[in-house]
Structure 1
Amino acid sequence: MPDLMKHQRECIEFFRGKTCGAILLDRGTGKTAAILCLLDERMDDGQRVLYVAIKSTLHQVAQECERFTPRLTPIVLDGTKKKKLDLLRRLKVNPPARALAIVNFESLRTIAIELAAVGWSALVLDEVTRCKDRRTQQSKAAKLISRHCASRWMMTGYPVTEGIEDAWSEYDIIGNGKILPPNFFAFRNRFCVMGGYDRREVVAYKNVDEFVQLIRPHSFARTKAECLDLPPKVYQTMETEMCPAQWKVYTEIQEHLRIQFDEGTLTVTAALAEMQKLMQVASGFVYRDDGTPEFFDNEKTAALQELLETTRGKVVVFTNFKAERNRLEQHLSRTLKGKFPCVMITAEHPSQERTRLQTLFNDDPAQRVFLCDVRVGGVGLNLAPANTVVFHSLPLSLELNVQAEDRCFRKGSEIHDKVTIVRLLAKDTIDEKVARAIIDKRKMADAIVEGVLGVQGALDRIRQIGRMRAPEDSPREHPSTPAGSG
């Protein structure tokens, strides 16, 4: 066995003799190496493993494979659909002795039938929360493929990012219906309290002890603090004021929302679109009718500049919108005349260029700022030389927030006294509501992992968080709800 850390060896030992499992390890703790070594122990000549990962990490998985398990042959199924299918055909006709086919989650939608026809000995779902919604095509494809695999594995830092109901699809895929109740509605009726309109909304949780007991035998969990000797993570909030022009546009959007609601014409899609507009205005811009952005005098940018002037070390800045990112890059590079040299990564950069820019930022002391959209730079990058992460705006997703933070909170960051996470929030706006929602989701996710670990009081915290979701006039229990209803 290669030189592994203690928790990686414990993970392999935990799953010895088992055919499925969930590796609940934070990003940056080496869960990829652990699963590769586990697979290597079990594989015979002629067997093939399907490894599904986020697109930006495909080649990193291949590199980890070459480093830790040289007996396995990594094959990255990337590029056009035609190229992927050609690689699959070659894999079926003339496979290497031990093949590890690495594909992104999007391919589960586009070439699901072809993937299912190959015949895999094992399936690995890396960052399995991409399959938390049982209704999506990629979740259905993963379920189809898993039925014919001798072993099935999932990996994530948090199996639950919104609520306990997230876990059903993930554990159903790896357990083939043998870990949790095989029917989603039976699962929901057992562990969720329904309320709201027509009792279609999860408002609280019940039987939490039973839920944790069901997933614990199939889940290996360790906190990042247990895995690595890392510095403390410190959170800071910087409140900023919107300018009068921002408030004018912001209140107009709010009024438009109110009118639609009062008239009964507000749809979920329209509400989400208006929320995005509110978040854009709070971030410092709004799109005109012709699709071009109009920018405001934004105090957030001034606050970021002040932070850069008073902070030592490298800083990673995440944005939620392309126009916001481009405006910041222009301000840092042109308005400030290169005072804070900036490396920027965009969705248009190919994998090799992203790696080059990452290396430039990490190795060049002159490059102080790394700027990117949270969906682009929030995964697959190691930015451990930076000791400060700034969210110029926040995404709604807990997963995106945690992934972005952990670009700087991983092996290598022990060189810092602390890693500081700064959230720039426009005062009295949707920013504050998004930040609060992220904090609440994080509490639930942490409590689930602690429950698997057997931490005292974790189950009580899950119940308490579940009760906090329920409106005061919502019924707490519905024991008479028939199975399959809702």
Structure 2
Amino acid sequence: SDPRSEVWRRTWGVVIADEAQRIKNRNQTSGALKRLRRERSWALTGTPLENRVDDLASIMEFVDHDSSGEPRRFWPGNELAARHRQLQLRRKKGDVLPELPAKLTTKVCVELHPDQHSSYSKAEREGVVYLEKLGAEVRVHHLIALLTRLKQICNADPKTGRSAKLDDIENRLAELTSQGYKALVFSQYVDETFGVAAVVRRLKQYNPLSITGLTPQAERSEVIDIFKREAAHKVLVLSLRVGGLGLNLQEASHVFYMDRWWNPAAERQSEDRSHRIGQSQKVSVFKYSCVGTIEERIDEVLESKQRLFDETVDDVSVDLGARLSREDLYSLFGLTGASESG
């Protein structure tokens, strides 16, 4: 950007960063925003903390500045916590939208289909044997690879495509769509075996539409308009990363999570595409996991991370370390690992 431009030369009365979680990283975009000369800064976000307390540091550098526009550096610790308490103005949805219908979250635990069970047991057995064989050479990427493989099999069998989760979702959709309701289905995967494309194929009787990171921005708006306007399209299938930002989908009152993302704040934001101003129906959220699998252990980690978020945005006095740690990964497989390189 040209430093001689009016944008950089003038002093703005106020600069507002909407969806401010996008500047949580100290990247080129956040750096440019912080260099703007301004008298006041406002950061608006429903998820100031996504993974760890450090997320607040970059946002606070934007908000807490002097009129020269020169960036201030914050580091995790007592100073950041104290300053955040002074500057945060938190408004919970129930405080400002008391008329908003309730949101009911249900955890749905399903048994793997026999095909899935066979594939899962084989993958888990071979994966753990491989990790044990590596011993001290195990790295985080080895654990992530096995974790991903097991989670994908929980979505669908790689050979037959059978899916206990989609069986249940399909049954629920049959009832709710017959009553005129629409639904959102989220998955962190986008492929034709385990993710968005697989869901679209399976639910074709509901004329599903889809949006993923590969969908051009202009096309996303068109898809959303069609979903809102045309009653024939009962289901919108989205990738989790795309579904959390800038979408207004109040036409849907039922939300299904095929699989869980590590980030409960991102999950909450994606389901709030439906549970927001303009929603007239009670919103039902269904979060799926498979009995006796890695997903049950993942759910325990997510519960603790959700408690972290709830505590931290009100009081950031403790570094709660929400990021999925090396120890978290090892414990998911009942392993203890000390290797520090990854």
Q: Name 1:329's counterpart in structure 2.
A: 200
Q: 2: CA distance between counterparts of 1:252 and 1:170?
A: 45
1:371 aligns with 2:259: no
Q: 1: CA distance between counterparts of 2:221 and 2:36?
A: 36
Q: Name 1:250's counterpart in structure 2.
A: 120
Which amino acid letter does the alignment assign opposite residue 311 of structure 2? Answer: A
Residues 102-144 of structure 1 show CA distances to partners (whole Å, capped at 9, x for unaligned) of: xxxxxxxxxxxxxxxx45746544333344455xxx1x76246
Contact 2:196 2:237 in 1 (8 A): yes
Q: SS of the residue aligned with 2:203?
A: helix
Q: Name 2:166's counterpart in structure 1.
A: 301
Which amino acid letter does the alignment assign opposite residue 247 of structure 1? Answer: H
Structure number with greater CO (CA < 8 Å, separation at least 6) is: 2
Residues 288-332 of structure 1 show CA distances to partners (whole Å, capped at 9, x for unaligned) of: xxxxxx443111111011111222411111112112221221122
Q: SS of the residue aligned with 1:384?
A: coil
Which amino acid letter does the alignment assign opposite residue 166 of structure 1? Answer: D
Residues 172-224 of structure 1 show CA distances to partners (whole Å, capped at 9, x for unaligned) of: 343359xxx9563xx44x5xxxxxxxxxxxxxxxxxxx865431221221001
* Identity rate, percent: 22
Q: 1: CA distance between counterparts of 2:121 and 2:25?
A: 34
Q: SS of the residue aligned with 1:164?
A: coil
Name the CA shift for 1:252/1:463 in 2 (closer, same or farther; >3 Å).
Answer: same
1:398 aligns with 2:264: yes
Deviation at 1:405, TM superposition (A): 0.4
Q: Name 1:481's counterpart in structure 2.
A: none
Name the CA shift for 1:220/1:348 in 2 (closer, same or farther; >3 Å).
Answer: same
Name the CA shift for 1:145/1:298 in 2 (closer, same or farther; >3 Å).
Answer: closer
Contact 1:329 1:342 in 2 (8 A): yes
Q: SS of the residue aligned with 2:267?
A: helix
Q: Name 2:290's counterpart in structure 1.
A: 426
Q: Name 2:187's counterpart in structure 1.
A: 319
Deviation at 1:225, TM superposition (A): 1.1
Q: Name 2:150's counterpart in structure 1.
A: 278
Describe how 1:86-485 pairs up with structure 2 within 5 A. Answer: 88=1, 118-119=8-9, 121=11, 124-133=16-25, 138=27, 142-143=30-31, 146-147=34-35, 149-150=37-38, 151-175=40-64, 182=73, 184=75, 187-188=76-77, 190=78, 212-228=81-97, 229-255=99-125, 256-261=127-132, 263-286=135-158, 294-311=159-176, 312=179, 313-323=181-191, 324-333=195-204, 338=205, 340-413=206-279, 415-416=280-281, 418-451=282-315
Which amino acid letter does the alignment assign opposite residue 21 of structure 2? Answer: T
Name the CA shift for 1:120/1:342 in 2 (closer, same or farther; >3 Å).
Answer: farther
Contact 1:278 1:430 in 2 (8 A): yes
Give the structure-2-normalised TM-score. 0.77
Q: SS of the residue aligned with 1:383?
A: coil
Contact 1:160 1:444 in 2 (8 A): no
Where does the alignment leave 5 or more consecutive residues of structure 1 unmatched? 1-87, 100-117, 191-209, 287-293, 453-458, 472-486
Where does the alignment leave 5 or more consecutive residues of structure 2 unmatched? 67-71, 328-342
Residues 147-188 of structure 1 show CA distances to partners (whole Å, capped at 9, x for unaligned) of: 5533444222132233333323332343359xxx9563xx44
Larger Rg over CA atoms: 1
Q: 2: CA distance between counterparts of 1:465 and 1:183?
A: 17
Which amino acid letter does the alignment assign opposite residue 225 of structure 1? Answer: G
Deviation at 1:285, TM superposition (A): 4.3
Name the CA shift for 1:144/1:176 in 2 (closer, same or farther; >3 Å).
Answer: farther
Which amino acid letter does the alignment assign opposite residue 156 of structure 1? Answer: T
Q: SS of the residue aligned with 1:305?
A: helix
Q: 1: CA distance between counterparts of 2:107 and 2:266?
A: 18
Name the CA shift for 1:133/1:436 in 2 (closer, same or farther; >3 Å).
Answer: farther
Deviation at 1:365, TM superposition (A): 2.5
Q: 2: CA distance between counterparts of 1:358 and 1:141?
A: 27
Which amino acid letter does the alignment assign opposite residue 149 of structure 1? Answer: R
Contact 1:239 1:424 in 2 (8 A): yes
Which amino acid letter does the alignment assign opposite residue 124 of structure 2? Answer: Q
Q: 1: CA distance between counterparts of 2:168 and 2:256?
A: 11
Q: 1: CA distance between counterparts of 2:132 and 2:17?
A: 41
Q: 2: CA distance between counterparts of 1:233 and 1:433?
A: 25
Q: CA RMSD in A?
A: 3.3
Contact 2:52 2:321 in 1 (8 A): no
Q: Name 2:335's counterpart in structure 1.
A: none
Which amino acid letter does the alignment assign opposite residue 127 of structure 1? Answer: E
Q: 2: CA distance between counterparts of 1:353 and 1:144?
A: 28
Name the CA shift for 1:265/1:243 in 2 (closer, same or farther; >3 Å).
Answer: farther
Residues 390-447 of structure 1 show CA distances to partners (whole Å, capped at 9, x for unaligned) of: 111222222321221011011111x11x111101211122222333333322222222
Contact 1:147 1:176 in 2 (8 A): no
Residues 67-91 of structure 1 show CA distances to partners (whole Å, capped at 9, x for unaligned) of: xxxxxxxxxxxxxxxxxxxxx55x9
Q: 2: CA distance between counterparts of 1:359 and 1:144?
A: 33
Contact 1:131 1:170 in 2 (8 A): yes
Describe how 1:5-84 pairs up with structure 2 within 5 A. Answer: none
